[in-house]
Amino acid sequence: MVGGWLRVPGRPVTPNTQQVAIPIGIITPNYFQTMGIQLVQGRDFTNQDRDGSTQKVIINQAFARKFWPGQDPVGKRLSFSEGTDSFREVIGVVRNGKYGGLTESPRPFVYRPLLQNYDRYMTIIARTSSDPRNSISPIRREIQTLDENMPVFDVRTLAEHLGISLFPARIAATLLGAFGLLALVLAGIGIYGVMSFSVAQRTREIGIRVALGADQKNVLFLITGQGMKLAVMGVVIGLVAAFFATQAMTVLLYGISPTDPLTFSLIPLILGAVALLACFIPAQRATKVDPMVAIRYE
């Protein structure tokens, strides 16, 4: 993170609007291709963007919208100092990314070329089509071939790196999942209890139905159908409430839509299956009612 005076020609320089902290990344050519970041305007850095040439930068879409809304930012200039001889030319715009955390909102970001902004602390990012852990040793050997005194440390795969950032979220998701599973079990037990009580209360009615010619299938559908009507109504109401509730959780989600079709189709199926099982067991017991005993039942 770099903070200071951000000077943009054509915009007033005031502490309230210009003295801001803008995160900056120092990169080499093909960084965006390696990271899978789409270049939406302009061009990428090349090996010709080095000391002695015009200072270049690439910005993200959030930066372009903040400082040049409705304009083409390619070719514009900006500076991170109060001098007038340090303006840098914008040569490209890339899609927004995540720079401080996976749940952060889009914010302005600037990329500078390494050949114009030397930094002795750099991170090498390698993309591979096989297991990335198999590439660690060859990369380490190649670096030591170039300079045997070059320290290589904190080597991790992207999955391992993200695992640290996602650890609190995964713990929270595990706890919420456990509570959700407990709630599902309690709901199933509750439905089973209510249906069992209903069958016990209607023993006489069921016996009369059987005596008048209702077979086991009719009784099974009667009891199960009445229980499932209430379950379906509850699932529909829950889906509508979940649809609106997930909109407020967008910032907590990563890699998934708040209205993920798979989630909104799979969860109702699971809830329906639990409700069906909880209704089916008492209904199955109701089919075994003896009409003679039921008619005399008090």
The full DSSP string for 202-234 is THHHHHHHHHTT--HHHHHHHHHHHHHHHHHHH
Average pLDDT estimate for 77-87: 70
Of the three residues 138, 155, 172, the one that is the final residue of a domain is: 155
Examine the domain organization and report whether 199 and 145 are in the same domain.
no
pLDDT at 15 over 50: no
Are both 10 and 116 inside the same structural domain? yes
Cβ neighbors of 115 (< 8 A, separation 6 or more) are: 28, 45, 47, 49, 50, 51
pLDDT of 9 > 50? The answer is: yes
Top-ranked range on mean pLDDT: pick from 21-30, 68-77, 137-146, 201-210: 68-77
Most confident of 10-19, 260-269, 285-294: 260-269
Distance from C-alpha of 100 to C-alpha of 105, rounded to nearest angstrom: 10
pLDDT at 84 over 60: no
Of 34, 51, 41, which is closest to residue 113 (Cα–Cα)? Answer: 51
**Global confidence as pTM:** 0.62
Residues 139 and 171 in one domain: no
Q: Are residues 231 and 250 in the same domain?
A: yes
Is the pLDDT at 11 greater than 60, yes or no?
A: yes
- In this structure, are 200 and 80 located in the same domain? no
- Span 235-253, mean pLDDT? 81
**What tokens does 272 get?**
């329906």
Distance CA(193)–CA(33), nearest Å, equals 59
Question: Tell me, what's the pLDDT at 255?
Answer: 66
Residue 245: what pLDDT?
82
The enclosing H or E element of 294 equals helix 291-295
Residues 145 and 206 in one domain: no
End position of a domain, from candidates 155, 172, 203: 155
pLDDT for 147 equals 84
Count of C-beta atoms within a 10 Å radius of residue 26: 18
pLDDT tens-digit series, residues 90-139 = 999 999 988 877 777 788 899 999 988 887 778 888 888 888 888 888 88
Same-domain check for residues 93 and 26: yes
Mean pLDDT of all residues in 164-174: 81
Distance, CA of 68 to CA of 190 (rounded, Å): 59
Confidence band, pLDDT 50/70/90 cuts, at residue 2: very low
28 and 114 assigned to the same domain = yes
Which pLDDT score is estimated for 157?
83
CA trace torsion 31, 34, 37, 42 (10° rounding): 50
Domain finish residue from 73, 102, 123: 123
What is the rounded average pLDDT of the residues 191-197? 87
Burial class (CB in 10 A: 0-12, 13-18, 19+), 227: buried
| pLDDT tens column, 37-67 | 999 999 999 999 888 888 899 999 999 998 8
Number of domains in the chain: 3
CA neighbor of 110 nearest in space, from 86, 126, 90: 90
Give, as one character, the DSSP assignment of residue 79. B
Shared domain for 187 and 147, answered yes or no, is no
* Same domain for 214 and 97: no
Question: Is residue 207 predicted with pLDDT exceeding 80?
Answer: no
In the chain, the N- to C-terminal Cα span, in Å, equals: 79
Domain that holds residue 136: 129-155
My answer on whether 272 and 230 are in the same domain is yes
pLDDT at 256 over 60: yes
The amino acid at residue 82 is: E
The answer to whether 147 and 83 are in contact (CB under 8 A) is no
Residue 286 above 50 pLDDT? Answer: yes
Q: Is the pLDDT of residue 82 over 60?
A: no
Res 17 pLDDT > 60:
no
Residue 89 φ/ψ region, left for φ over 0, alpha for ψ in the -120 to 50 degree band, beta for the rest: beta
β 88-94/56-60 pair status? parallel
Q: Are residues 290 and 179 in the same domain?
A: yes
